[in-house]
Structure 1
């Protein structure tokens, strides 16, 4: 086997080519994770808070805490 039969490895531009490929992959994965967090965590949490405060009576809750003796300044 002669030296001319072997193909030379690509050295020029190899780093840029690999970085470009990994950058596209990293951006794609990070956008996917961000979308998953938004729709699987943030939106249900916002809905749960909205549902809770839709029917929340803060005066009733305050009176229950006052009767339980949580507050020292109110009797």
Structure 2
């Protein structure tokens, strides 16, 4: 009893016909999951933060705390 010889001719094409659509579908699913699982919540978080962000108020509080070396506090 001997093992049959493996069929090598056309093996790559046969395997690609199976694996290429699967790889394409999985990459598409991963891209959509990343978009809606990571980037959309991140964009929404940035939008929520900047909706109530006052840059002038933040600058004045940092100026009063002495964060900037070239800006004097308004009391001096």
TM-score, with normalisation over the residues of structure 2?
0.82
1:12-69 deviations in Å (ceiling 9; x for gaps): 3222010121111111111111000000000000000001101110000000100111
CA distance in 1, matches of 2:21, 2:7: 21
CA distance in 2, matches of 1:61, 1:8: 75
- CA RMSD, Structure 1 to Structure 2 (Å): 2.0
Gaps of 5+ in 2: none
Higher helix fraction (1 or 2):
1
Question: Aligned pair 1:22/2:19, yes or no?
Answer: yes
CA distance in 2, matches of 1:67, 1:28: 55
Question: Aligned pair 1:43/2:40, yes or no?
Answer: yes
Gaps of 5+ in 1: 2-6
Number of residue pairs matched by the alignment: 72
TM-score, with normalisation over the residues of structure 1?
0.83
CA distance in 1, matches of 2:57, 2:12: 66
